[in-house]
Chains A and B, each alone.
Chain A
Amino acid sequence: MPPAPPRILAGLVAALVVSACAGPDSGADVDLPPAEFYRGRTVSIIVGSGAGGGFDTTARLVARHIGRHIPGTPTVIVVNMPGGGGLVAANHVFSAAPKDGTVIGLFHEAQMMNQLTGGEGVNFDLRQFNWLGSSYDDPNVCILRGDAPVTTLKAMIGRGTPIAVGGTGPGSNTYDAPRVLAAATGASLKAVSGYPTTNDVRIGVERGEIHGMCLGWESVKSASGQWLTDGYAVVFVQNGTTRHGDLPDVPLAMEFARDEVSRTLLRLVDAPGAMAKPFALPPGVAPVRVEALRAALAATYRDPAFVEEAKRMNLEFQPKDAAGIQRILSDVLATPPEVAAKYREIIQP
């Protein structure tokens, strides 16, 4: 058989050029009313993690309902784009994704700490996204097995042998929160990192090689609620600024902070949780479409069918709107550089 006749390859190229010229006409329809623009289109929600995790679950749940509330009722699909704890997805949505309002991002709110501490690979400014709203208000808490040597933060401060809590690694709440907690309060806590996922941390707690773990209160409730009901584990500290309604008797880490800088550090480590699982449009989307999608997300969160389904999945949404998200972001990103540097130093292994 002779090599491919050049004619055919040339034909391929020609066909390609023709088809490229006949490409979609995005951009030309900015003036269309949203109902006409979205009719028959597909909106993708780009999730910064793989199938099956908490972000993916939230994205798919919202995707099943939000279509009804967007003018023109487009089809809504979920596309997984895992990598770098949401970094890949955030970069993609910020610059590469189409800016016509057909791509929504859902990536890790903890990227704000990455931007603050000047992490590598951050090619976005979170403040410039067109935020649609966040899903949960998820304060960070730490739990311990009931049979741990001590089970109160007070008893931990200044103690000799550290209490071991497990985590995945730097950049994750499971690791950063106990590090900051220890540094800010003097509690004798040791963060063991290297577990592949939070599920592996949980089983480490069951095996008894670690005494507990720190993570968002919503995750504790949905994945380890039984532990608390059975008295197998207790919440010994919460890292927010005010005591959570569910946890009136659990002390705030703030109450034990050593000084003002420590208080700021604790506020920082808890800040992302207040706008957990936020949806965003890229910068530069036409304002009318941004507004349409903001209204759609808000309506979704109120939709009884949505709420009912979320409840069956043990999820309770406490959304924040765009203004609320912007407030948190500008607050965190205005942290003085020396405090940011201190934070970075603490979470270094």
Chain B
Amino acid sequence: MDVFFSALLQVLAPQTFAVMLVGIAVGLLVGILPGLGGAATLAMMLPFVYPMDAISAFAFLLGMHAVTATTGDITSVLFGIPGEATSAATVLDGYPMTRRGEGGRALGAVLFSSLIGALVGAAVLAISVPVVRPVVLQLGPPEFLMLTVLGLSFIVSLSGRNLVKGFIMAAFGFLLAMVGLDPQSSIQRFTFGQLYLWDGINVVPVVVGLFGGAEVLQLMMTKQSIASRRGDERLSRVFQGVRDTLEHRWLTLRASAIGLGIGVIPGMGGAVSQFIAYAHAQHSSRHPETFGRGNVEGVIATGAVNNSREGGNLIPTVAFGIPGSISMAILLSVFLLKGLVPGPAMLTTHLDVTYAMVWIIVLSNVIAVAVSFLFLNQLVRLTYVRAVLLVPFLMVLTAFGAYTAHNSFADILLMLGATVLGVAAVRWDWPRAPLLLALVLGDIAERYLFLSYSLYEWRWMTRPLVLAFAVVIAAGLVWPLLRGRPGAQALPAHGADVPIAAGFLLAAAWVLYQAAGWPFRTAVFPVTTGVLLLAFAAARLLQSLAGRGSPAGLPRGAPGPSRGARGDAKEGPAGPVEEMPNGPADENDLPDVFATASRAEWVSALAWMAAFFLLLWLAGALVAVPLFALAYLLAVARQSVVLAGTYALASWLFIYGLFDRALRVPLPPGVLFVS
């Protein structure tokens, strides 16, 4: 115990504390800015810790790292543009809340639940380091596999009101995960001969496009503010979010536990845990049907899981010297740099350092959340501004966010492809979350299945923990049926579902044709997924052809509850919004811009978007961003030359001064300037 508190005093020593504050400030900045991943920042900041002692070095880097996870959620909530893959699930409910004018509440909830998550993570780190080794060593590839299966079983709940559409999107996501070199045979799968695709589809550009790109386009068409109506601006809205978190304290704790559990396991990746926590929140909610339309529970779960995971990630790093993520690998090099040997010595000779890390996580999260609360109102006010003024800025967010993946323009193309997919999904009611979940889980599932088989053949299935996981998964699938939740009402039928389903059908056929020549191990996953996609797409095709006559589509499952007979109301005027503890049950509060926009609005928005990315490709970021800002503000936002000029100049200073000079972030250079 003495060590525990003397470690706190060490962290509070003026110099160490000051260094931590600098780290927190950098972390806050990096979390909000696009184009800088947490890991890349850590790598860049590494040289600064050479002269420091061990605890100061961790205060600086860990403080920075802990905060990035918190602030990464802010752009997800405010603009629907996730900064990294681990903030993607925050968009699902956080952004609809903002659109509804509840941005303050959503931010309050995400920040406060992040704080709780961090505290839980730190507490468990402190307690578990002595005992965690044997536990972690019990979990091998077969258990990891079962964990991915558990994650995949949530596709059912993430699919929303149309299970078939959800399965189709998941199968498609799975196929996207298969793109690249098969790690077993080095055979190319679905790469079209493009070297860029060899390493597979990176989640970040897909996330940014699927959610962020689609939202930016939407804003360009509405020309209104992000928040569709002006919410209550007082800080009380923020505290409403805090109260929400306290009210759902068990959910917060469960989500924190999920983050910890997955964080402890090396090789699972951060995005997985967020989706599992999100799906769990939906699963256990009393209003699962409001998820994806601004349910605060979804926001709370995704906030808590991110920050508890950091504590979990640290556990294998400290206990084994085996990092669970790239960021942890960089922190591990600090251990070596400071002459610390991870492992048992961290509990004896260097126990003070271990406990100091716990305190750093606690303090930096408290400070970051406190600082964020100070600025929340200003941030939320951005969402009341006319969206056209934000468009140039948001365009930069999406472009730079995607570009972090490989520093390649192909990242941006991938992001634009995902944008198209995202727009189509919003317009014709195809759920996006299952696709993303399948994309993050697909290659892990394949990898650990074959690894388990190579190690144990089929005996892996008889491991006790594998069986325990199987029971949990089965229970999770059967539980909703037993609970007798009223069947979700059917989605409105869209004429476009016929060509879309037909498209998926063709894609599945093409996949099967491609896979025909591959050896068994390379082909088994794509073929299985292809067959499933074929079946689901055919089912959907029949479903929509049969349901074309009735506007309500094909009723499915139990008869709808009282609000079932809505029919084609989607096209109608927005209904009144009631205040409900878990968000309104009415999905029509968010006007579907893609459905109502005129042809002229479509043409204008698409032309401007195309102009920006073409310019970016040709002339690079330093020319494209200010030029686009100037032209867009003059022509579309109808601003004065002075304002547009100032905006353009500021944007140039911002990316040249901050990104290019100070932070040295690689920016798209522009093909014209590369000789």
Contacts and interface: CB of A to CB of B under 8 A. Distances in A.
Interface of A: 1-5, 8-9, 11-12, 15-16, 19-20, 23-24, 26-27, 50-53, 56-57, 60, 64, 77, 79-84, 87-88, 91, 96, 98, 100, 120-121, 164, 168-171, 192-197, 199-200, 202-204, 206-210, 222-223, 226, 309, 312-314, 348-349
A1 B604 contact: yes
Contacts of A50: 39, 326
A314 B673 CA distance: 40
B631 interface: yes
Given A8-B634, A199-B323, A192 B454 contact: yes
Contact of B195 (A8, A12, A91): A91
Q: DSSP majority for the B interface?
A: helix
Interface in B648-675: 664, 666, 672-675
Given A120-B188, A226-B343, A196 B267 contact: yes
A88 B604 CA distance: 37
Given A15-B627, A313-B336, A60 B454 contact: no
A341 to B, nearest CB: 16
B506 interface: no
Contacts of A207: 137, 140
A166 to B, nearest CB: 9
Nearest to B38: A51
B96 interface: no
A81 B223 CA distance: 38
Contacts of B604: 1-4
Interface residues of B, number: 72
B225 to A, nearest CB: 15
Residue in B186, B196, B619 with the greatest tally of chain A CB atoms within 10 Å: B186
Nearest to B329: A52
Nearest to B637: A1
B659 to A, nearest CB: 12
B481 interface: no
Contacts of A204: 140-141
A202 B628 CA distance: 50
A11 B628 CA distance: 11
B635 A82 contact: no
Interface stretch (B66-74, B534-542, B607-615): B607-615
B37 A171 contact: no
**Which 8 residue pairs of A and B lie closest in terms of their CB atoms, listed nearest first?**
A3-B604, A194-B451, A52-B326, A20-B672, A51-B43, A8-B635, A52-B329, A169-B183
Contacts of B447: 194, 196
B239 interface: no
Contacts of A208: 137
B618 interface: yes
B184 A193 contact: yes
A2 B196 CA distance: 38
A202 B322 contact: yes
Contacts of A3: 600, 603-604, 607
A80 B40 contact: yes
A200 B46 contact: no
A121 B187 CA distance: 12
A84 B322 contact: no
Contacts of B618: 16, 20
A312 B50 contact: yes
A313 B333 contact: yes
Specify which of B320, B521, B674, B675 lies most central, judged by the most chain A CB atoms within 10 Å of its CB.
B675
B595 interface: no
B376 interface: no
B50 A309 contact: yes
B557 interface: no
A1 B636 contact: yes
A199 B186 contact: no
B47 interface: yes
Contacts of A223: 321
